[in-house]
Amino acid sequence: MIFPFESLVAEHRELGLVVETLIGFGFGFTLERAGFGRAQKLAAQFYGTDLTVFKVMFSSIVTAMVGLVVVSGLGLADFKAVADSATSSTFLWPMIVGGLALGVGFIVSGYCPGTSWVAMASGKLDGLATVAGVVVGQVLYAEVEWRAFLKAFHNSGNLGNLYLWELLHLPPRTGPAVVALAVAAMAVGCFLGAEKLEKVLASRADPAAQANPAGRPGRAVFAGFATAALLGAVLLALPTGIQAKSREAASVSQLELARRVLDEPWKVRVIDMRDMKECAARRIPGAECVPVDKLASIRLAEASPSRDVILVGPADVASVPPAAAGYPGRLYVLAGGFKGWEAFALTQPVPPAPGAPPAEMEEYRLRAGLNSAMTGMKAAPPPPPPTAAPAGPRKGGGGGCGG
Amino acid sequence: MERNPDKFWNPYLAGVALGLVLLTAFLVMGKGLGASNASLRLGVTAIGAVAPNHVASTPPLAKTHSDGHPLDNWLVFEVLGVLLGGFVGAYTSGRLKKEILKGPHIGNGARIALALTGGVLMGAAARMSRGCTSGQALTGGALQSVGAWAFMLSVFAGGYAMAWFVRREWR
């Protein structure tokens, strides 16, 4: 990965600040040229006569989103890493209320905070007033946001860094691309609708309201977005495409699981998908109780792949739930589910008859040990005396030091 | 370059240009764009000049000192760039002019008062939602953040809901 250049926020911080100034220059210049320094043009968005705000915002979002998906697809950046560093956590309720309030402030002042800077820079006194207002509003809210009466609301609905592709249960590798293509397709549809709406409303409204028709360059942008969306759809439809296939998981036998749970519990993560109540009553040692409808909440897709995940259902798990399919590590299902496990591990094994083959003896010993471990019984009946069993291949020597 | 103050870029091309600026910010700096946090830093600087103890005892204000001076921050430099870019854009297009922008049926005083009121409301709102239309809607929207999309839809909802009440300001 090449991007982003970490050093610009660390050892070359001064250079980074220069770069930020240049980026800001591009931001301000583009906003000015789009007409965002003019309050009437921004306000017209909310009267339907000039939808420039919507067109500019939506096409810039699509451009940056698709651009980052492509650069990430080439392995030069990581969409999620950039998103984690550049976005804030989702605080759902304050964001919705803040959005509504900001929208009201937008139509009252005629600017949003960013465009008010541009308006001020181009000599607009109302822009200056808005800039001053934003400074006051920011400080006023910062004064109270940590106080007891507001703190609970200010931090409510905290969902962490949550992204659209996670909301749609798409895998983290391909999710951003799928969402970007859907958004690009949606944008083209919305743009065509916006052009129609403008035409209808502008002919009714005063002739002074001047919309910016799409024209040839606009149609080129539509075509570009539509091509990106189509191309992605074709790629996804191909059998070798990046589409998230429903995942097949190997099954693990009860004996194998028992061995692993007892011998190397740090290497497995057993997830019991049964009802919380049943799971709470009886479960495989070390199992997490995660009912199948809650499976998305433990975010398996982002979990570390170091442990093998073993899914346990009431009976055989027919198909891997989508919330678990994104797990990057190895994924197994327990053969026979918990029912099979109960029959295997929680019932007292019958001791084999004296003289049984060693394999059978061995299994009995394991199952007896397992049963005692699982049921909390003190000890399984002792194995039959060793004389009864035919001797296996003898090991040479007695202890570790013998020759 | 011809200087026609009423001539703007094609909105879609302007959008693509803005998107490329945003993409550059993502790739080079690993950050997005932002506009409202610089305002807080300006305010804290002003308060700090008269009441430094108050700033130190208010955690959200004190936090702006984490890099040293509150103005020593990338968001402040970015807004400095926005001001320069806006100035150059306005100058080269003939839109650089001291004036008050408003609809035909409202006085200058009322317009300035409304601009200030709307600004205060937006300042508080942007703080509440952890970013404004730049830092939240554009940046978070492009990065597919769920909160950013909820915020963006709410902004449009709030604007449309209020538009009828302030129509005399613009129409």
Give the model confidence (pLDDT) of A25-44 as tens digits: 999 999 999 999 999 999 99
* Amino acid in position B16: V
Chain B (50-69) residues lying within 8 Å, Cβ to Cβ, of chain A? 58-61
Q: In 3D, which of B165, B37, B127 has the Cα closest to residue A97? A: B127
Put simply, the answer to whether A137 touches B121 (Cβ < 8 Å) is yes
Phi first, then psi, for residue A331 (nearest 5°) are -130, 130
Say if residue B161's pLDDT is above 50: yes
C-alpha separations of A34 from A56, A387, B5, B79 in Å: 8, 93, 12, 18
Going by C-beta distance under 8 Å and a sequence separation of 6 or more, which residues neighbour residue A85? A4, B30, B31
Predicted confidence at residue A206, as pLDDT, reads 54
Mean pLDDT of chain A: 82
Out of A142-151, A195-204, B21-30, which region has the weakest mean confidence (pLDDT)? A195-204
Average pLDDT (A253-257) is 83
- A47-100 per-position pLDDT tens digit: 888 899 999 999 999 999 999 998 888 888 889 889 998 999 999 999 999 999
**With bands split at pLDDT 50, 70 and 90, how would you rate the model's confidence at A213?**
low
Strand partners, A332: A250, A310
The pLDDT of residue A382 is: 56
What pLDDT band is residue B2 in, cutting at 50, 70 and 90? low
Cα gap A157→A346, rounded to integer Å = 43
- Amino acid residing at A306: S
Distance from the A235 Cα atom to the nearest Cα atom in chain B, whole angstroms:
21
Rounded Cα distance between A383 and A396, Å, is: 24
Q: How many percent of chain A have pLDDT more than 90?
A: 33
Q: Reply yes or no on whether the pLDDT at B125 is more than 90.
A: yes
Complex confidence, ipTM? 0.95
Q: Over 80: is that where the pLDDT of A235 sits?
A: no
Helix ranges, chain B (H): 11-24, 37-50, 52-57, 59-62, 74-93, 108-128, 141-142, 146-163, 167-170
Residues 100-119 of B with CB under 8 A from A: 100-103, 111-112, 114-119
Residue A241: the pLDDT is: 39
pLDDT of residue A392: 52
**CA distance linking residue A359 with residue A356, whole number of Å:** 8
Please compute the mean of the pLDDT values over residues A323-330 and round it to a whole number: 80
Q: Is the pLDDT of residue A244 over 50?
A: no
For residue A245, what pLDDT is reported? 45
Could you say which architecture CATH assigns to the domain A250-345?
A: 3-Layer(aba) Sandwich (3.40)
Q: What is the pLDDT of residue A284?
A: 84
A310, A252 contact by CB (below 8 A): yes
The two three-digit tokens of residue A10, written as one number: 């660390």
Q: Tokens 């400095």 label which residue?
A: B80
> CB-based contact (8 Å) between B70 and chain A?
no
pLDDT at A201 over 80: no
Whether the CB of B78 is below 8 Å from some CB of chain A: the reply is: yes
Interface with A, mutate which of B22, B99, B165, B171 (most A CBs under 10 A): B22
Say yes or no: B161 contacts chain A, CB-CB below 8 A: yes
pLDDT digits (tens, 9 = 90+) for A288-306: 888 888 888 888 877 877 7
Residue A10 neighbours by CB distance under 10 Å: 9
pLDDT reported for residue A48: 85
B99 pLDDT tier (thresholds 50, 70, 90) = very high
Per-domain residue ranges of chain A: 6-237, 250-345
Half-sphere CA count of A93, side-chain side, radius 13 A? 9
Q: What average pLDDT does this structure show over B14-37?
A: 93
pLDDT at A349: 78
Q: For residue A207, is pLDDT > 60? A: no
Whether the CB of B166 is below 8 Å from some CB of chain A: the reply is: yes
* Rounded distance between C-alpha atoms, residue A133 and residue B39, angstroms: 9
Q: Which of A219-223, B37-41, B105-109 has the lowest mean pLDDT?
A: A219-223
Tell me, yes or no, if B48 comes closer than 8 A to chain A by beta carbon.
no
pLDDT of A144 reads: 92
Q: What is the CA radius of gyration of chain A?
A: 32
Give the confidence band of B158 by pLDDT, cuts at 50, 70, 90.
very high
A318 to chain B, closest Cα gap in Å: 32
pLDDT band at A212 (very low <50, low <70, confident <90, very high): low
Confidence of residue A198 (pLDDT cuts 50, 70, 90): confident
Q: pLDDT tens-digit profile of A150-189?
A: 989 999 988 989 999 999 988 887 888 899 999 999 999 9
More confident residue, A294 or A392: A294
Partners of B42 on chain A (C-beta within 8 Å) are 135
Enumerate residues 6+ apart whose C-beta is below 8 A from A349.
Answer: A364, A367, A368, A371, A380
